[in-house]
Amino acid sequence: MKSHNHFESLSSSFAITSLIACSIFVMLGAGPGFAFDFNAYAQTDDDFAASFSKDDETNLAPISWNFGLVNWMEATHYATGTGAVKIIEPDMNLNPLEIDIFDVDVWSKSDANGITLTVTETGITTGLFEGTVSFTATEESSGHKLRVAEGDWVTVKYKDNTLPSSYTLANSRDISSNSKIKITHISP
Q: Can you tell me the distance from the alpha carbon of 136 to that of 134, in angstroms, rounded to the nearest whole number?
A: 7
Structure-model confidence comparison of residues 145 and 15, the more confident one: 145
User: Model confidence over 73-98: pLDDT tens digits?
Assistant: 999 999 999 999 999 998 888 887 88
Average pLDDT over residues 13-29: 48
Q: Using CA of residue 162, residue 163, residue 166, residue 172, what is the dihedral sign?
A: negative
pLDDT band, very low/low/confident/very high, at 152 (cuts 50, 70, 90): very high
Judged against a pLDDT cut of 70, whether residue 8 lies above it is answered with no
Average pLDDT over residues 38-48: 58
Mean pLDDT over each residue of the chain, to the nearest integer? 76
pLDDT band, very low/low/confident/very high, at 5 (cuts 50, 70, 90): very low
Q: How far is CA 82 from the centre of its chain?
A: 21
Among 2.30.30, 1.10.3470, 2.60.40, 3.40.50, what is the CATH number of 69-181?
2.60.40
Judged against a pLDDT cut of 90, whether residue 72 lies above it is answered with yes
Share of the chain above pLDDT 90, in %: 46
Q: Which residues, in sequence order, are CB contacts of 94 under 8 Å at separation 6+?
A: 3, 4, 5, 100
Contact 132, 82 (CB under 8 A): yes
Q: Which residues, in sequence order, are CB contacts of 128 under 8 Å at separation 6+?
A: 86, 87, 88, 121, 122
- Annotate 71-84 with b (16+ C-beta within 10 A) or e (fewer): bbeeeebbbeeebe
Structure-model confidence comparison of residues 19 and 122, the more confident one: 122
What are the domain boundaries of the chain? Answer: 9-62, 69-181
